[in-house]
Structure formats: C-alpha cells, structure tokens
Structure 1
Amino acid sequence: MSQTHRATLYVEDATILAVERFPGEQFVLRLHAPECAASAVPGSFVHVRCDAAIPMRRPLSIMRVDSNAGWIEILFKVVGGGLAMLGQRSRGDTVNLIGPIGRGFQPSPARPRSLLIGGGVGIPPMVFLAEHLHADAHAWQPLVLMGSEIPFPFAEQRSRIQVDWLDKETDRCMPLVEACGYPSRLASLAGYDGCFQGYVTELADRWLATLSASELAEVEIFSCGPTPMLKAVASLARRYGLPCQVSLEEFMACAVGGCAGCTVLVQEEDGPAMKRVCVDGPVFDAEKVFSESA
C-alpha cells in the first residue's frame, strides 16, 4: 500500500502489551506493532480502529517506539465514544491500526539547540523526537517544555538537571526526557506544584530571551498541540527569527490522503495551496501555515 507522496503504510492487528491510565481520562497504550515500529519517525501517527462496532478510526500520535522489540506507544485523552471504548481495552486485546502515517519532523544538525514545545495531547511527538535525538550520534542540545491545564499524563518528578534561566522552585520535569539527560520543564495555569505558572509559550520566551545572538542562531523550534498554542509558537519563532516546525491536529476520516477532509491552507513559494494534514503533513513549516498575514 504505497503511493509516490508517502512511504509504505502497514495494516496491523496490534496486541496491547500494557495499559496505563492517568487522571483526566488519559491513557497510554503499548502496542506490539513491529512493522509500524520499524518505519515510524517523530511526528508519525497511526489510524486506530477503537472498536469493531465503530467504523471510523481515530488518528493518534506515536509517543515512543522500540523497533527492536517491535512496539509503539500512543497517548490519548478520551473525547467521544470511540476513544472511550479504546480506553476500556485491556492487555492482550487486539487493536487494528494503519501506520505509520505522515511526514515527520526534520531537525537540522546546523541548529543543535532544539526547542521542543508540547501542549496536552501534543506531548507524544515531543517525547518521540527527544528520544530520537538521544539515539542519534549528533551532539544535540534540546530543551523540552510541556504544558497542560489538566494533570499531566505521566508521573512528573523533580528534575536533577539544573537550569540557570529559571528559579529553582520550578523544577518539575518529564521523566522520559530526563532519562535521556535532557532538561525539561512543565507549565500550567492550574497551579500545580513545581510547574511554571503560565503558558508554555511564555516559558519558552523566558528561555529564548536569555540567549545571545550566536546561541539563537543554533535554535530550531518543534511543536505540537492545540491550534491556539501553535499560533503562539509560530509568533514566538517569528519574533526571534527562528525556524519552526509544527505538527497540526485536524479531524480526519481516511487519514491516507483520499478524502481531503483534513486540508489546510499553506503559503507556498508559488502561492497559496490546500494541503492534506494526513499525508502532506502533519508536520509543516510554521510560517507557511501561521503566517503573520493569516
């Protein structure tokens, strides 16, 4: 199942290896899907059949991959009956999926100071990207910032990695990112202990403001989250003159480019064009989808 505009897709009956439930009806499923795991890249997603009684699949970002063990992890928040039924699945159950789908993030070695910004269910691609950079031989220096207005979908902990641009009391981090040896910090308006009290984009702005011109020349931004947050990230990148890649969240029907139901307006060099988020994205140049004139 391949076409010229995308890589090969796989249809797999994936066995659920583990289920984790977090507050706010958030779930992490580990799925044995070896073909998908072997081809996924940060930014890829899978189209999941939540239940045999529900014909419409749901697009879910891939959060982690172990290609040797053949598993992937997906994180989702229950919104609607389909994901509610997926959240009721148990270890040993089978879930049919199509994937990996979409064009992923493409970090440039010329800009090793990667700034990863994830919001809510946009957190998974940032975890995937951080672990991908950790496995790469290049000397990446990422900073990972995550925001949520409901409890985070992981057991946050106090960071052991010091940062000199933030007060010591703002010390909560994402354990998976910490395990890579990369600094991470959390932001929320919900008043959670140890989190930055504000928007995650405000936290990112605070860090960027401390950098010299030569340091900023090494920064590239990557982000996934709700559209208002991505617009704010694009504005931040524009203000600092930084390249920025964003992963868009859109409703999808087929997710393989056939229905064109997830199109967005993209400003190309030769003029505006409608692009499909599923196969032309979900990762786009932020300036092309959130231009100052848009």
Structure 2
Amino acid sequence: MKPTNQRDSIFLEDAVVLEQHRYEADQYILRIRSPQCAKAAQPGSFAHIQCNPMLPLRRPLSIMRTDPNEGWVEFLYKIAGYGTRLLSEQKPGETISVLGPIGRPFVPTLKQRRPLLIGGGVGIPPMIFLSDYLRRQSAYQPLVLLGSEVPFPFRPRPSQFVIPGMQDGIIAAMPLLEDWGIASRLASLQGYPGHHEGYVTTLAHQWLQTLTNDAMTEVEIFACGPHPMLAAVAELANEFSIPAQISMEEYMACGVGGCAGCTIRLNTSTGPAMKRVCVDGPVFNAKEVDFSN
C-alpha cells in the first residue's frame, strides 16, 4: 500500500443507503452503495457526507469497511449533534451525497510484521479497515486492541486466540476480527466482563512490556481515537522506540484542503509546520505531532 495523490481519487457520488442499524449509546453502522469510493478507499480514508439536503455542511466519517466488487462502503458513527442525528434518520433506498475517499492512508511496512492496532471510540472504524487489509497479506500478524466507554456496537465474545503476554482474564474480543483470524482484546472503564479494566493504551503498554527486544523491532503501532488517547500512543511509541502512525480527528468544513480549518501543528525535521488533517493527513507520524496545545 502506497500513499496516493488523494486529490486525483476523490469522487462526488449520489450514494444509495443500503442498510442502517442502531446500537446502544446512539451508535450506528451505515452501509451505502458508492462504487467509486469503495474502489479507491484505503485504510485510514474518510468520506465527507451530506447528512441531509437541507444541511449544506458535510460531516467527515472514517471508513470502516468496503467491498470494491459489490460497490459498498460502511461507516460506524455516533450521534454527536444535529448533522449526525439527521444522518441517522436516513432510510434504505434514500440517496445521500458522498465526497470521498479523502486523506492519506496508513502504510504498513514488511519490516514491522507484527502491527499493533489501537482504536478508541469512534477511532475504531479505521482499525477495522486496516485489519481487513492486513488479513489479506500473509506477512502480517496483527494484534488489535479496542477501547470504549460506551457499549461496543457488537456483542463481544471470548477469544479463541491465546496472546502471549496478555493478562489472564482479559478474553473479550470482537467477533468480526475473530472470524477473520485476527487476535483482538477489548478495554473499558465500565467493568464489562472479560475486558481490561482501564485505558486501551494501558493495556497496550502492559503487552509491550512483555516483548523481547527482537520482537519489539517487528512492532509498529497504528492508532485512531480521541486526542488524549493519541497523545498516550505517541508516548508509548517514544518509550519503546517503535514507529507509530496515528489518524487525527479535527472539525472540518470543506474536507478537501480549501478552508484550512482542520490544521494541526507538526514538529518536522525542517521545523514547526501547520498541516491540514483532511488532505495532509489524517494519518501522521506520531513522532511529529505536537500535542502540547
């Protein structure tokens, strides 16, 4: 997988709603028919969706799954305001305008064949998309750690995979990942059975501490979630001297780099720089992101 010139592969489509399912805590999984977006999307991509024809400003949603052959794209989102509430009211057969895929994707490397994927809350979808990509590449042995403070939009089940270094009793896993043959574990502060009781980054830290030096050289972190979680991921990467790619989330107006309303500060090799999350990201090198503000 290579970074692309994303402006050459952003499409404006009238997408048809195929399915929309509601889960606890106002969470929804939306599947739309959007063939061009489905064909061009890569793990880490997002789409800018018009939630309702009466609402001009679009909303950015991370892509969770695609099927390029059948032409569908799937999103997991949570109602956060007026726009996403309108989106949740869209029914199968209705049409919504979709601009996508947008953004620079995650780029796994063969040197790090043991990717550690960390997703928190609405940062879970890119980890599912990346998992789907990695399972099709025989070179990788991913571990996926997911955290949420509301019930997950799936029914966790005990994992069939033994993870060396994982504490006893932490057995809750995501069924879809289990079916794909990918080991996963879940974390929450809500006392859910079989979950790590604490932050997902703490679970990642505990697991990383059990690795040998040789094993550590094969690990790269990929993460998406709220800013405090991503800051903790950057600290993890620094502490264990492992590379990390993180997908940032910011409020967006245009989604294609025109308004510069989603800029973040990076500390690059040539000095401080302001970059747009929508087109310069959303995936960045964790080492470069300035979390001081």
Task: Confirm or deny a common fold (TM above 0.5).
Answer: yes
- State the Cα deviation string for residues 5-64 of structure 1 (Å, max 9, x = none): 633210111111111111000000011100000000000000000001111100000000
Matched residue, 1:253: 253
Helix, strand or coil for the counterpart of 2:193? coil
Distance 1:193 1:43, change over 3 A: same
- State the Cα deviation string for residues 87-136 of structure 1 (Å, max 9, x = none): 11111111111000000100111001000000000000000000001122
- Structure 1 length-normalised TM: 0.96
For the 8 Å contact 2:45–2:105, the answer to whether it is kept is: yes
Matched residue, 1:285: 285
Matched residue, 1:118: 119
| 1:54-93 matches, cutoff 5 A | 54-93=55-94
For the 8 Å contact 2:116–2:144, the answer to whether it is kept is: yes
CA distance in 2 between counterparts of 1:129 and 1:142 reads 10
- State the Cα deviation string for residues 160-189 of structure 1 (Å, max 9, x = none): 112232244221111221122111000000
CA distance in 1 between counterparts of 2:51 and 2:66 reads 20
Cα deviation for residue 158 of structure 1 reads: 1.6
Helix, strand or coil for the counterpart of 2:22? strand
Q: Percent identity?
A: 52
Q: 1:236 is matched by which residue type in structure 2?
A: L
- State the Cα deviation string for residues 208-242 of structure 1 (Å, max 9, x = none): 01100000000000000000000001001100000
For the 8 Å contact 2:22–2:28, the answer to whether it is kept is: yes
Matched residue, 1:162: 162
Give the root-mean-square deviation of aligned CA atoms.
1.4
For the 8 Å contact 2:253–2:259, the answer to whether it is kept is: yes
Helix, strand or coil for the counterpart of 2:19? strand
Query: How many residues are matched?
Result: 290
| More divergent stretch after superposition (205-214 vs 155-164) | 155-164
CA distance in 2 between counterparts of 1:211 and 1:21 reads 39
For the 8 Å contact 1:59–1:255, the answer to whether it is kept is: yes
Cα deviation for residue 277 of structure 1 reads: 0.3
Structure 1 residue ranges without an equivalent (≥5):
none
- Structure 2 length-normalised TM: 0.96
Structure 2 residue ranges without an equivalent (≥5):
none
Helix, strand or coil for the counterpart of 1:92? coil
Distance 1:101 1:4, change over 3 A: closer
CA distance in 2 between counterparts of 1:135 and 1:5 reads 23
Helix, strand or coil for the counterpart of 1:155? coil
Helix, strand or coil for the counterpart of 1:24? helix
Q: 1:123 is matched by which residue type in structure 2?
A: I
Matched residue, 2:134: 133
CA distance in 1 between counterparts of 2:136 and 2:228 reads 31
For the 8 Å contact 2:172–2:194, the answer to whether it is kept is: yes
CA distance in 1 between counterparts of 2:261 and 2:166 reads 43
